[in-house]
Each structure stands twice: as structure tokens, then as C-alpha cells.
Chain A
């Protein structure tokens, strides 16, 4: 059963799951956009009390994002101001126009005047206010400029202004070009520019520092939360290359390029980008004196750790281990406990591939809590719960642990972990065979709104948790016979996680599993067989198991048995208990199909013991059904009925429709068999209740369209009616049976011997 994977990689731009791009301190530079803001501020001061209260409030709310946001075109800025106060927008435009169309001295004068706003007994602007700081930054930056730089700034301002102007009058200028010769020359020029243009269109000029940062952080968070909404790998790479061409020192771009390369599974480029990023980071770490040596050493450790993560992602576990050892060694040498904790978590993930290592994990959780790393601690708890669930620890304790970690998540608003936690609960409930609980948890997650502030507009992210939950939901629906709903969910999954995205494998597996089940129900074994290859590609153990089932259904008993035995040994080795039980059940079925019920019994008992031990309730009840059937065949139907009472309740409550049908059918059979020794009245009563049960079974079978079982039920019912002397009902059943019988090929196995 799929549960949450360890896809949460460490990311220096993310702390506790939140994206931060501004790693480097940005120095302020005067740009035309900033000048426009300065003009706006000075106009604001000049307008003073003339402004209405409402307008003033609107403007104040507008100012902060403008001051902190990226540069934008003048037209957009004007629009924003106009929305607040049209009068002010006009005066700002006129001031800018005067400055842009005037002389250099106008700009110089403007900056000279700016500093006046601080003077006086009651200054317009406080020196330490947000606006005051901005003004002082700008004045300082302006005063630092050399002569040629001032001139350049002025020409940039002119361009900034005229670009906006031109946009307004673009249509007119187009019309003016009436001279055919000139038009011709223009055409040719454009033609020649063709190849160059193409490259430039995508990037449409260089980005400013803030814009670049915004772009990077946005894309990074999209890559993490919703891959489909991020730019396509190729175009993102193009953007990044462009960014790096204009500013080779922008190291984060290398990191994003690493993430992007991970998306397309490109080992070479991603390694290259990652190392490049850290080479660059080391520089900046060394430059900033505040961090001192510490900052520099720190990035070294994380560099090694990230390399380990990369190798792990690509399945190079040995390489990953070497890199991790290195990270651990360096972290130990410099006493960096936080880094060590990260290493420990990764160590667990790596060791997990080799042997289970709860000790490591427990240690990690303790230490992480101690060092105040809630994210890491919660991840640890979740992994621990997952492991414990597989190891058959008490369910109440696990749920308690999850609840405790949930408290932590809500406290720190770690929305991602909340999602994971719910997805995990869904998976665990399914593992225990409580489909209603699983269904409820899945619905909880799906109807929850995301806490993440990054994309406020979007209610949910496309993270793995959602994929997991949706897959479970699809399977649950399919089990209940709502195939249309299931395929609807799968369609949704396909849209949300396109086939080449990271989590697409999940739904692919579930899709094929559902199809497989349907094919088996319909008796289209060749279809099921063709699906096995697909399943094997995604999950080899599941694939082998399904292959065995197909073989069994095709009556190739010895092959099936061989395969199951191999699988059993393998699963016991990797401690996949759930699969062990399923394999045991299938083996038992093989035995009773070959009429070796006495051999089947110990196998079934073993399965039952295991299922009870690991509290896999649903598998346990299925085992009981099998056991009851064997007892029925061995001639102790009363005993069978007794234990059936144990199993029937969970099956009816949580079971798949098919299983419910089988269970009811079996109950009816046992009732009939045990009725043989009853007194006639009692016997009639028993048979009548058996008929009722059969009706119920029939309903269930009809739901999943199992014609074979339906036919068997009808035959059985007809016989019972016959015994009871109800000829009319008997004939009806017989007719239905006849119809089905003509449709279906004759069954190889005697009727009474089949339980499934």
C-alpha cells in the first residue's frame, strides 16, 4: 500500500517548508522605477491635506508593496496609482514628463529637493520611517553615482518614460509608415533580426534583481508544490540561462536549475548545477563578514549533504552514502548539530534501503526536538509511524503519535506536513482495513484549504500527499463498485499530475491495479495478464503477485505455486507482512482448489496469526472466510458458521463489494450444509434465511458485475427453492441461470468447491 515517500529533500531556499530567495543582501540602486516612486512620494507630501481620508488610506496601502516589490513598467504603476487617486496619478505623470523631457539638471534639482523633506522643525517624513528609510537609501545611492552613471540614469529615465509614451501612441506611428521604400527596409531588417529575436523574445530583456529573485522564488515554490504550474523544464532552463548570462553571480539560479534538472532526471546537468551553486555560495558566504568563517564552512557541509540527496534521488545509494559520510564528518568537526540532524534524517532514509533502522530515527526525532527543528522532527515522527505501522505496532499509539505531531504542525503552521500527516492516516487506515476511516481522512484532506501564503489564490497544492489520497480514493470507490467514479478520479489525477511529472507513477500503478481487478472479475484473464507487465514496471512485488493470481485463475497451478513460494520468501526477507499474508492466502486457495484442504488449513492459520499480530484486520477477516470455507468442505459447517460470525461484521462494514458477496454466499452455503442435520421445520427456516443471504450476495455481485459468481448463486438458489418446493421461484432462478450460462464458458471447477 502506497504511503508518503521520502521526497522531501533539503533545500537551502526553504526553511521549514517556506521559500526564501533573498539570501544575499541587496544593495539599493537608483532605477527609473524607483525615481517614479520618489516622485510619487514627493507629490504625496505636496498634496498633503488636500487628499481625502479614503484616498490617503488607499495610497498608504499601495506604497508598501511598491517600495518592496520589483520594478514595473510606468504604465502599470500609473494604473495602480490611478485606482487609488486619479488626481495624483496625473500630477506624477506631469512631473516625470517634465523631468524626462527637460534637462539633466531637472533630475539633479529633484534629488537636491528630496533631502529637504527631512529638514524643518516638523519634517514631512520621519528619518526612521519606512518611507524615510527608502528616501535616504535612494539619496545615498544617487550621491554615490559617478558623472557618467548619472547621465546613464538620466537616459534610462528617458527611455522608461518614452517606452510608456510610445505604447500609447503605437498605433499612430504604425500608420505613419507610408513610405514604401522605408517599409521595405524595415521588413528586411526585421527579417534579418529573425533568429536573434527568437532568442530574445523568451526573456524580454534582463530582469532586475528583485524581479529575478521573485521569479526564482516563485518558480521554486511552484516546483515544490505544483509542478504543472511551473514553467516547462525547457523554457525554465532557457530563462535561467538568460538570467545567468546577464548576471553570472546570481547563484540561486544555479540551484533552481538543479531542481529543474531533477525534474527531467538529468544526472549530469543537475550535478553540475548543484556544485556550481555551492561553489558560488561559498564565495558569498566568505564575503559577508557577519557570518565569518562559520558561514563558509556551513555551506560546505550543506553542499556535501545536498550531493548525498542528489545521489539518493537518482538511486545511487552507495554514492549517496559516501557523500553523506563526508557531510557528517565535516559537520561533526565543526559541531554543527543542526546540520547533523539533517544528516541523520538522510542517514535513516539511506539505511532504510538496507535494513530498518528505527533507532536512528528515534534518535533523530529526540535530537531534532531538542534543537528546535520542528520540521525535521515531524518528518521523523511520520517516518517512524510509517515504519511502526508496517512493523505491526499498536495502532492507538501510532495514532497518538500522529496526533501529537499534528499539534506541532498546526502550531508552526507547517501546512505541507499537515497534508502528509492526513495522507498518512489515510494510508494507515487502509492498511488496517478500515475503509470508512480511510475514506473520511481522504475527504478531509481534499476539502481542506491550503495554509500556504505563497499562492493564496490556489486552494490546494499538487503535492505527493494529494496524489496519494486521490489514489486511495479511486481504489476505495472501485472496491465499492463505483467504477465510473473511480475513473473520474483517475481522470482528475491525470490532469493534475501529468504523466511526466514526479508523482505520476502513483496513479499509474493504481489505475492499472483497478483495471486488473475489473478484468479479473469479468473473467478476462488475458486482459489482466497484459496489465501485469505494466504493474511490474511500477512495483515489482505487486507485479509478481498479480502474475501469480492470473496464473491461478488460468488453472496453471504449479506455475502459480512456484511463483508464490518465491514471492513468499522474498517478502519475508524484506518484511513486507501485508504481502506475506496475501501470498499465504493465495497459496491456501491454490491448495483447496487442488482439493488439499488439510494442507491449506495450517497455511491459513499462519496467515491469520500474522494478520492478527500486525492488526491487519481486513486481511484477518478474509483469512477467516477462507478458513470457514475449508471447514465447510471438511464437513464441519457448524464450526464454519461459528467463526464466520467473527468475520462477517468487519467484512460487511469495510470490505469490498466482491468480498461482501463472497462472504454472504459462504454464509448461505454453511447454513445449508448445517441444516442437513436439523429438524424439518428448522431446516426450512434455515434454508429460507440462506435464500435471503443469497439474495444479498446476488446484489453485491451484480454491483461489480461478476457474472460467474452470479451464475453460481442463481444455481444454488434454484436448488434451494427446489428443495423448498417453490417451483415458480425456482424456475425464475433457473431461467436466469440458463441465460448467464449461455453467455459464459463452462466452469472447470465443481461448483461447490469454489468459494471465490
Chain B
């Protein structure tokens, strides 16, 4: 019935006023049904658009005969519902026929079950009952809702609730179907889309869904691309949304920041987050991601400021606890950090990030068994958490079990095939196991997918050195130096001196005096290789004087970016990583 009023139009964004109207009305309707998060989302988005003149404001929803009949019960129950007295709300809503009242009735029964379940977990009768606590209401709800569903009496919200019940019962396939149906019935309801995001695990599944062709789909696709780590596509979608006129939406800005965080483009992510904080200073959502970024960059004052700020806003939020945990971790107060992550988990046991971060803290404290426990928990919550797998690998590496940790690194690598850190870790393990061929493959691959820490090439070069493949080693060192210089960063890089030293020796052996002396001169710039460089320079001079006169034209140093510019993008051919190991 009312759905007809607010069906989202086509998939274009030409009529922003229409979109705004739809958003406002759906926000109102979600609120009426106690769906606060969807309401908030719609309102946030609506806020990003131009305000409407009075004449164009959406009319208040038309009340039907049924609505009028249930109005008293609904009003009473809604106030109970808002006070979190779900059973009471449900009691007064019994027998209501109108869609709105019926939804609230079912929804309060569902929430009451969930609340009881959470309470039950605290005092169960034994270890075996721990996992048994179930939301008792779910099965009844399912039976009733499916009856209604068969009779096609459910509106968009009703379908959404049915889907949620199915998902809680682990009936994933049915749940997806119902959520798709809900999205068709009421495309404006963000909750249904969000649930779909959680249920879809890969791109293939996404392809086979028949989704309603509305502008909401764009938001959904952008979101799910971020979830599935298809960052490029996600960023594209978000950019086009901004171009369409949602440039002020904090939701989109935060999502873009998260996307940049996921591809580890730290600077961009940081600047976007800063922008976001300016626009929405009391925002707590996504601030944990922000703090991760600050942590990675070791920006202590900023992190401290953020932590204090958030603590002032609301100290009992998962995100706040996480930020404070990160803050302590950066200050190397790991016990306190672990404490705060534990608090975050108490607030929300399903908050995955905290488990992993807690694992990291335990690692810092050298409490490996607790770390393993934390990581295993993280994996239990989400099997696809590559950081937890990686953390487990690191733990076992610390325990000096390089073969054992291979499995974990491999799992992490499977989840993030293009992340160089896992590849470098794998390579190091193979190196320890003396499987140099495999190690070489890993390092090369790490370099090829874009090395974050820029260590893969040095390690590869050293491997070649060990195997007496001096030519390849020299090539690697050259590439490494080019990489460092082309970055433009003048960071103190430990291995640069080693690279120059090796190259100097290499060219010296090859009797390429010019190159050798250039490298040796470079060596002199570093403390640890200065003497060696000087000695080599003297030797070269001697030998040169003995031999014929050198060629006079001094070419530009081969290793500088100038020579690199000729072939600006070194073609990094990514060959398939074919490790000989048979194990998973």
C-alpha cells in the first residue's frame, strides 16, 4: 500500500529532490517501526542534499482504517518499545492487523528473544550450555512469518524481519532470497541491503542476484565492493555518487576513507578522515579505523587527541575502547591496551577487530598462548580475517616453528593474494626452512604485487647472493635502489648501504670502473660502509691508472630516477605463484 508512494525511481540521480523526498519519508517510516539504524542512514543521506521548500515536503503518511484502529495500541507499544520493554510492547500489540503495528509486534518479540539470549549467556548452568543458548522466539517467529510470506501479506519491512529471522536460524540461502524480495518490495530500506551485504561472500554470488534497478542499488554495490575487497570498483562507485550530488554525505566520505585504508593508501585515508572529523566532529563510527591509521603512522599526538575526544563523547562505545587500546599500544603499555580491547569485546562480543588487536597486544607481551587464543576467537567470528591468520603465523614464527606457521601465512595469503606482507612472511619462512627456490618465488611475487615495506627486493637480492647468482643479485639491488629513489622519500633505509656496497663490489669484479666508482662514492655517504667505499675507490683508481684511460663521458648514474624515467613504469609481470608445497 504505502510502498507505492515511495518506490524509488530509476537508477539515475537526475532528480535529487525526488530522492530527497523519498529519503525523508523512508526515514520517518523506519523510525515508526523502531528500525533506528536504517532511519539514521536515510536521514544522514537526506541531510547531505539541498533542503526542500515547504511546498515540496513529503506529506505525512496517509492513515488507513486499520491504522486508525490500532493507533492507540501502537502508540502505547511504541513508547514501551523505545524504553526497551519489548515483552510489554508485544503484549499490547497482540491482535493488531495494520502493517505497522504488526511489524512492531513481531520485531519486539524478536528483540526480546535476542535480549534474553544475551542475558542468558552470562549465567548458564555449565560449559556445555554456553553454546546452547538460543533465541527461543526465533522458531515461532519463523513459522508465523513464513505463513504470512506464503500468503504474500508481508510488506518490505516484514520481509526484512523474516529474512533476519532466517539468517539467525542459519538458513542462509532462504534468507538471501527473502532479503532480495525485501529489497524489491521496499528498495529504500537500507537495512535489507546491509543484511544482503553480510550474506554475500563472493563476486559470483553477487552476479546471480536479481536486484531492483534503483538508485539505492548503487549504494549497495559500492558497499559490497568495499566488503569484498574490490576497492577499485568501490572507489569508482563512490566517486560517481559524489558526482551525482552526495558530496556532503558523511557516510560516503567515511566509506571512501575505509576503502583507502583497506588498500593501505594511508595518506589519502588519513586526509579523508581528518576532513570527516571536521564535518562531523562528534562521530564515533569508523573512528577505530582512523585510529588504526594513526597507529600505523605512529602519530602519537593525533591519536592521543582522538582518544581523549572520543572518551569525552562516549567512553562506553566499542570504537572508543578500540581507539584507547590503540593509543596505549602505541605508547607500549600493552597490558592496558589489552584491557581496553577486552572491554570492547564485553560491549560487543561480535566485534571482530578487537579480538585480532588483542592478539597483537598479547604478542607484544610475549604471551603467545593468550595471543593464539585471541586470534582463534577472531577466526571463529570471521574465517576471512586475514590479520588473525597472519597473527597466528607470526606467533608460531616467534615460537620458532617456521614450518608450522607456513600454513597460517598461506591462509592469510589466500585471503589477500596481493598483499606483500604475507608474501614476505612466507618467503622468510621458506628461507628459514632452507627452501630457497620457494623463498625466491615469494619475494619476487611480493615485489611484483607492490611491496609495502620495500624489503622484498633486498631479501631477494641476498638470496641470490647466497646462491652465487651475482647477476640477479645485482639486478635486484639496482631495482631496489631505483625503487627507493623513485619514492622520493629520503628515509634512512638501512639496506641502501648494503645495496651500494654489493653493487660496487659487483661492478668492480666485472671491471666496470665507472659504475663501480659511482657506487663506491655512494657507499661513502653511509657510516657503516664509508671505509669500505674509500678503500674500493682507491683500488679502482689504481687499477684505472694501470689500465687504459677511462671513457670520458660521464653518464648519469644508472640508479637514479632520471634513468628510470625512460621506462617509467617497470613492467612487473606477475607470474602465478606456484609453490611446490602440497599442503593447503
* A residues with CB within 8 A of B: 27, 29-31, 145-146, 148-149, 152-153, 156, 188-189, 192-193, 195-196, 206-209, 212, 245-249, 267-268, 271-272, 275-276, 279-280, 282-283, 285-286, 296, 300, 303-304, 307, 311, 314, 316, 319, 322-323, 325-326, 329-330
* Known contacts A246-B132, A285-B369: A31-B125 contact under CB 8 Å: yes
A-contacting residues, B112-164, CB 8 Å: 123-132, 139, 142-143, 146-147
Distance in angstroms between the alpha carbons of A51 and B373 in the assembled complex: 54
A196 touches B125 (CB 8 A): no
A300 touches B582 (CB 8 A): no
A307 touches B369 (CB 8 A): no
Given contacts A268-B584, A330-B400, 5 further A-B contacts (CB under 8 A): A29-B126, A30-B125, A146-B123, A188-B147, A314-B582
Chain B 386-409, CB-CB to A under 8 Å as 1, else 0, gives 000000100000011111100110
- Nearest CB to that of A189 among chain B residues? B143
**Nearest CB of A to B427, in Å:** 15
Interface centre among B126, B373, B392, B399 (most CB of A within 10 A): B126
B128 touches A209 (CB 8 A): yes
Write out the residue numbers on chain A whose beta carbons fall within 8 Å of the beta carbon of B129.
206
Write out the residue numbers on chain A whose beta carbons fall within 8 Å of the beta carbon of B583.
267, 271, 311, 316, 319
B404 touches A304 (CB 8 A): yes
Write out the residue numbers on chain A whose beta carbons fall within 8 Å of the beta carbon of B146.
192
**Nearest CB of A to B309, in Å:** 37
Write out the residue numbers on chain A whose beta carbons fall within 8 Å of the beta carbon of B433.
322
* Known contacts A329-B400, A330-B400: A192-B372 contact under CB 8 Å: no
Distance in angstroms between the alpha carbons of A329 and B407 in the assembled complex: 19
- Nearest CB to that of B408 among chain A residues? A275
Chain B 473-489, CB-CB to A under 8 Å as 1, else 0, gives 00000000000000000
Write out the residue numbers on chain B whose beta carbons fall within 8 Å of the beta carbon of A330.
399-401
Write out the residue numbers on chain A whose beta carbons fall within 8 Å of the beta carbon of B408.
275
Contact partner of A279 among B124, B139, B372, CB < 8 A? Answer: B372
Contact partner of A323 among B123, B142, B400, B403, CB < 8 A? Answer: B403
* Known contacts A192-B146, A248-B131: A272-B584 contact under CB 8 Å: yes
A282 touches B369 (CB 8 A): yes
* Known contacts A29-B126, A283-B372, A304-B401: A319-B407 contact under CB 8 Å: no
A208 touches B399 (CB 8 A): no
* Known contacts A272-B584, A286-B370: A149-B123 contact under CB 8 Å: yes
Q: Is the interface of B mostly helix, strand, loop or mixed?
A: helix
Distance in angstroms between the alpha carbons of A139 and B288 in the assembled complex: 47
Contact partner of B402 among A156, A188, A326, CB < 8 A? Answer: A326
CB of B452 within 8 A of chain A? no
Write out the residue numbers on chain B whose beta carbons fall within 8 Å of the beta carbon of A209.
126-128
* Known contacts A31-B126, A296-B369: A275-B132 contact under CB 8 Å: no
The 10 lowest CB-CB distance pairs between A and B, nearest first, are: A286-B369, A29-B126, A246-B131, A268-B584, A322-B403, A283-B373, A326-B403, A149-B123, A323-B403, A279-B376
Distance in angstroms between the alpha carbons of A268 and B408 in the assembled complex: 13
**Nearest CB of A to B149, in Å:** 11
CB of B171 within 8 A of chain A? yes
Write out the residue numbers on chain B whose beta carbons fall within 8 Å of the beta carbon of A282.
369, 372
Contacts A/B (CB < 8 Å), 21 sampled: A148-B123, A149-B123, A149-B124, A188-B147, A192-B147, A193-B143, A195-B171, A248-B131, A248-B380, A267-B582, A267-B583, A271-B407, A275-B404, A275-B407, A279-B376, A282-B369, A283-B373, A286-B370, A319-B581, A325-B403, A330-B401
* B residues with CB within 8 A of A: 123-132, 139, 142-143, 146-147, 169, 171, 369-370, 372-373, 376, 380, 392, 399-404, 407-408, 433, 435, 581-584
* Known contacts A192-B146, A248-B380, A282-B372: A316-B128 contact under CB 8 Å: no
B125 touches A149 (CB 8 A): yes
**Nearest CB of B to A62, in Å:** 25
Write out the residue numbers on chain B whose beta carbons fall within 8 Å of the beta carbon of A207.
128
Distance in angstroms between the alpha carbons of A188 and B143 in the assembled complex: 9
B132 touches A156 (CB 8 A): no
* Known contacts A248-B380, A304-B401, A316-B583: A206-B369 contact under CB 8 Å: no
A246 touches B123 (CB 8 A): no
Distance in angstroms between the alpha carbons of A272 and B407 in the assembled complex: 9
Write out the residue numbers on chain A whose beta carbons fall within 8 Å of the beta carbon of B400.
329-330
Write out the residue numbers on chain A whose beta carbons fall within 8 Å of the beta carbon of B392.
279
Write out the residue numbers on chain A whose beta carbons fall within 8 Å of the beta carbon of B372.
279, 282-283
Write out the residue numbers on chain B whose beta carbons fall within 8 Å of the beta carbon of A280.
376
Write out the residue numbers on chain A whose beta carbons fall within 8 Å of the beta carbon of B124.
149, 152
- Nearest CB to that of A207 among chain B residues? B128
- Nearest CB to that of A267 among chain B residues? B584
- Nearest CB to that of B376 among chain A residues? A279
Write out the residue numbers on chain B whose beta carbons fall within 8 Å of the beta carbon of A322.
403, 433, 435
* Known contacts A148-B123, A307-B404, A311-B583: A247-B131 contact under CB 8 Å: yes
**Nearest CB of B to A215, in Å:** 13
Distance in angstroms between the alpha carbons of A613 and B584 in the assembled complex: 47
Distance in angstroms between the alpha carbons of A445 and B143 in the assembled complex: 60
Write out the residue numbers on chain B whose beta carbons fall within 8 Å of the beta carbon of A272.
584
- Nearest CB to that of A212 among chain B residues? B128
Distance in angstroms between the alpha carbons of A717 and B380 in the assembled complex: 83
Distance in angstroms between the alpha carbons of A206 and B130 in the assembled complex: 11
Contact partner of A300 among B401, B403, B407, CB < 8 A? Answer: B401
Write out the residue numbers on chain B whose beta carbons fall within 8 Å of the beta carbon of A245.
131
* Known contacts A279-B376, A322-B433: A271-B369 contact under CB 8 Å: no
Write out the residue numbers on chain A whose beta carbons fall within 8 Å of the beta carbon of B376.
276, 279-280, 283
B139 touches A196 (CB 8 A): yes
* Known contacts A280-B376, A326-B403: A192-B584 contact under CB 8 Å: no
Distance in angstroms between the alpha carbons of A258 and B129 in the assembled complex: 25
Write out the residue numbers on chain B whose beta carbons fall within 8 Å of the beta carbon of A307.
403-404
Distance in angstroms between the alpha carbons of A208 and B407 in the assembled complex: 33
**Nearest CB of B to A298, in Å:** 12
Write out the residue numbers on chain A whose beta carbons fall within 8 Å of the beta carbon of B584.
267-268, 271-272
B403 touches A304 (CB 8 A): yes
Write out the residue numbers on chain A whose beta carbons fall within 8 Å of the beta carbon of B139.
193, 196
Write out the residue numbers on chain A whose beta carbons fall within 8 Å of the beta carbon of B132.
206, 246
B128 touches A247 (CB 8 A): yes
Distance in angstroms between the alpha carbons of A153 and B123 in the assembled complex: 11
Distance in angstroms between the alpha carbons of A188 and B144 in the assembled complex: 11
Write out the residue numbers on chain B whose beta carbons fall within 8 Å of the beta carbon of A319.
403, 581-583
Distance in angstroms between the alpha carbons of A30 and B124 in the assembled complex: 11
Contact partner of B143 among A192, A248, A275, A283, CB < 8 A? Answer: A192
Distance in angstroms between the alpha carbons of A149 and B132 in the assembled complex: 15
Interface centre among B433, B435, B583 (most CB of A within 10 A): B583
Distance in angstroms between the alpha carbons of A275 and B407 in the assembled complex: 9
Distance in angstroms between the alpha carbons of A248 and B372 in the assembled complex: 15
Distance in angstroms between the alpha carbons of A300 and B127 in the assembled complex: 26
Write out the residue numbers on chain B whose beta carbons fall within 8 Å of the beta carbon of A286.
369-370
Distance in angstroms between the alpha carbons of A188 and B392 in the assembled complex: 49
Interface centre among B128, B143, B380 (most CB of A within 10 A): B128
Interface centre among A27, A193, A276, A326 (most CB of B within 10 A): A326
A303 touches B404 (CB 8 A): yes
Write out the residue numbers on chain B whose beta carbons fall within 8 Å of the beta carbon of A27.
126-127
B128 touches A192 (CB 8 A): no
Distance in angstroms between the alpha carbons of A319 and B583 in the assembled complex: 8
Write out the residue numbers on chain B whose beta carbons fall within 8 Å of the beta carbon of A189.
143
B125 touches A208 (CB 8 A): no
A283 touches B369 (CB 8 A): yes
B373 touches A192 (CB 8 A): no
Write out the residue numbers on chain B whose beta carbons fall within 8 Å of the beta carbon of A296.
369
- Nearest CB to that of B435 among chain A residues? A322
**Nearest CB of A to B121, in Å:** 12
- Nearest CB to that of A296 among chain B residues? B369
A300 touches B147 (CB 8 A): no
Distance in angstroms between the alpha carbons of A271 and B583 in the assembled complex: 8
Distance in angstroms between the alpha carbons of A145 and B581 in the assembled complex: 52
**Nearest CB of A to B390, in Å:** 15
Distance in angstroms between the alpha carbons of A325 and B435 in the assembled complex: 14
